[in-house]
Amino acid sequence: AKVLLTGGSGFIAAHVLNALLHRGYTVVTTVRSKEKGDQILAAHTDVVAQSRLTYAIVSDISQKNAFDSALANQPGAPFDYVIHTASPFPASFENPLKDVLEPAVNGTNGILQSVKQFAPSVKRVVITSSFAAMLDHKNPPKTYDETVWNPVTWDEAVNDHSLTYRGSKTFAERAAWDFVEKEKPNFDVVALNPPMVYGPVVHHLGSLSRLNTSNMRIRDFIQGKHRDNELPPTRNYLFTDVRDLALAHVKAIEVPEAGGKRFFVTAGHYTNKRIVDAIRETHPELSSRLAQNPIDDLPADVYGYDNSRVKEVLGIEFRSLKECIGDATTSLLEEGA
Ligand code: NDP
C-alpha cells in the first residue's frame, strides 16, 4: 500500500517512516526543501532502489493548496493512506499566528481538503495531535482519557505565548473532526495524542542546536547544564517513547476499528529526576555531569492517565522510561553531546 507522510524531516516522522518502510509500505514524504528530501533518500538507499521511497516538496503548509501537487501529481499507484505529522513544535517563536497557529490549523485543513479533492483512493488520514489538545489546567480531570479536551480559546492562544502551541494542537485537531463532520469525505480520520515524546534521533540533525524541542532537556542534562543547580520543573508528567508512537501511527492505518477515534498514546508518568536517574543507570560514565541529588517533583495528587484504548485497539506495548532515555542518551552522544 502507498502512504503520504507529511513532515518527513521531523524527529517523530523519521521513526514513522522507518516503521512504514519496515512493514513494506511505499512512501512519498513531504519536506520543505530539496536538501532535506535528499538527506532522507540518502539514509534509505536500499528502499529508494526498490522505488518505495520518494519525496515531494511542500515549502509551507500554511499556504492554501499547499498539498495539492504532492497528492495529485504522483506517478505510480494511487495513495491508500495519509499520515500528517508536519506541524511546528518550536522551543521559542516570535509570531504566534504565522509561526505556530496558522501552519498547524491551515496545514490540517489543507491536507484534508487536498485529499478530498485529489486523492479519492485514500481510505484514512492519521493526524499527529498531542496531549496538548487534552490538557486542562483550569479544571484538570482526575484521570486523562480521550474524552478530555483543552478548553483554550483562540484569543488565549494568540495572546499568551505559553498557550500558543497547545492552542495550535487543539484547534488543528478540532479542525480535523469538524472537517469530517461537515464534508463527509470518503476517508475516516484517526488522531494520536502523545504527551512528551523522547527517544533516539534518527533524522538528519546536522547540529545539536537543531535538536527537536522535546529531546532538548535530555541533551541539557547530558551536557551538564544542571549539574550544579536544581532541575527545571517537569511540567506535564507524562511521556512516550518515539518508537512506540511510530508503531501507533502504522497501526492506526492498519486497524479498521481505529477509524474515527482519538488515542491517548502515553506510556506513563515521569519526572526530570527520573530522566536523570535513567541516564545515570544506563550511562554511569556520565554521572559527574548530572544533577547529584535532584528532587522528584511528581505531585502526590498528580492526574492519572487511561491508556487502555491504545493498548487494546492498536495493541501497543510501551517501552519503559529507562529504555527510552537510555537509547536517547546513546543517540545524543553519537550526535556529539
Ligand atoms: P519536529 O520539529 O522534529 O518536526 C516538525 C515537522 O514539521 C518537521 O518536519 C518540520 O519541517 C515540519 N514543519 C513545521 N512547520 C512547518 C511549515 N510551516 N511548513 C512545512 N513543514 C513544517 O518535531 P516533532 O517530530 O517532535 O513533531 C512532529 C509532530 O508531533 C508535530 O505535529 C508535534 O506537534 C507532534 N507532537 C510532538 C511531541 C513531542 O514531544 N515531540 C509531543 C506531542 C505531539 P522542518 O524539518 O523543515 O522544520
> Ligand 1, from 5, 11, 63: best to mutate by most atoms within 8 Å of Cβ?
11
Give the closest residue (by CA) to ligand 1 atom 1: 10
pLDDT tens-digit map of 159-200: 999 999 999 999 999 999 999 999 999 999 999 999 999 999
The CA 88 to ligand 1 mean position distance, Å, reads 5
Residues with CB under 6 A from ligand 1: 7, 9-13, 32, 36, 58, 60-62, 85-89, 103, 128, 130, 169, 194, 196-197, 212, 214
User: Which residues are within 8 A (CB) of 100 and not within 5 positions of it... i.e. 6 or more apart?
Assistant: 88, 90, 93, 164, 165, 168
DSSP, residue by residue, 123-186 = -EEEEE--GGGT--SSS--SEE-TT------HHHHHH-HHHHHHHHHHHHHHHHHHHHHHH--S
Give the closest residue (by CA) to ligand 1 atom 3: 10
The secondary structure element, H or E, covering residue 264 is strand 262-264
The CA 178 to ligand 1 mean position distance, Å, reads 22
Q: What pLDDT sits at residue 28? A: 98
Instruction: Tell me which residues of the chain have a pLDDT lower than 50.
Output: none
Q: Bridge partners of 29? A: 5, 55
Q: Are strands 268-269 and 238-241 parallel, antiparallel or unpaired?
A: antiparallel
User: Which residues are within 8 A (CB) of 309 and not within 5 positions of it... i.e. 6 or more apart?
Assistant: 145, 146, 261, 263, 264
The CA 262 to ligand 1 mean position distance, Å, reads 19
Domain boundaries, the chain: 2-198+240-266+305-315
Backbone angles phi, psi at 301, to 5 degrees: -105, 35
In angstroms, the CA 104 to CA 88 distance is 7
Q: Which atom of ligand 1 is nearest to the CA of 58?
A: 20
CATH number belonging to domain 2-198+240-266+305-315: 3.40.50.720
In angstroms, the CA 133 to CA 173 distance is 7
Give the closest residue (by CA) to ligand 1 atom 19: 60
- Does ipTM surpass 0.85 in this model? yes
pTM over 0.95: yes
Beta strands across the sheet bearing 188-193 = 53-57, 26-31, 2-6, 81-84, 124-128, 188-193, 262-264
Grid cell digits, residue 29: 514524504
Residue 206, SS3 per DSSP: coil
Q: What pLDDT sits at residue 282? A: 98
The CA 327 to ligand 1 mean position distance, Å, reads 21
Return the closest-CA partner of residue 327 out of 222, 228, 213: 222
pLDDT tens-digit map of 8-35: 999 999 999 999 999 999 999 999 999 9
The CA 290 to ligand 1 mean position distance, Å, reads 29
In angstroms, the CA 185 to CA 191 distance is 16
C-alpha distances (whole Å) from 74 to each of 85, 119, 188 are 20, 10, 22
Grid cell digits, residue 155: 484569543
Q: Bridge partners of 191? A: 127, 262
The CA 52 to ligand 1 mean position distance, Å, reads 23
